[in-house]
Structure 1
């Protein structure tokens, strides 16, 4: 489970699992969860992304934006053995 989240993101996946909330959500038929960082209070569900996730049965989707010179902290996307991966850097 510790591999489900990068450092500093609140251990949300492990917390959902350990608290039993994950099982309760699954028992209610809830299979998709929208998460956003606390520093992005304007985040909303994009229905086009949700539709794509449902249609392709993707296990995980991450919306990305271009980094700016101000974006020195946090993760980045890398090509690892031919696959896109998230590389998180502890802050």
Structure 2
């Protein structure tokens, strides 16, 4: 398995039932899209799936996949909030390796 391709800025998604979940990278987002997504329809959903797969194949960046995932969440009526990078919250002096 490939290492996670982290988002520069993780996101918090609030589901329609009020539960909030944090997404840190492309694998996390694609896994949710493929296995737990509430509405497997919509232009933004299809684009997010496509771009997350492309990012994992190094055909696009994690940032592009993140924006597509955010759009899909908004299309499905799930509010999104940007979070501080994990290394800012946990204290290490250097960030994890990230895809550009």
Q: TM-score, normalised by structure 2?
A: 0.27
Q: Which has the larger strand fraction? A: 2
Q: Which has the larger helix fraction? A: 2
Q: TM-score, normalised by structure 1?
A: 0.29
Flag the structure with more relative contact order, 1 or 2, with Cα contacts below 8 A and sequence separation at least 6: 2
Over alpha carbons, which structure has the higher Rg?
1
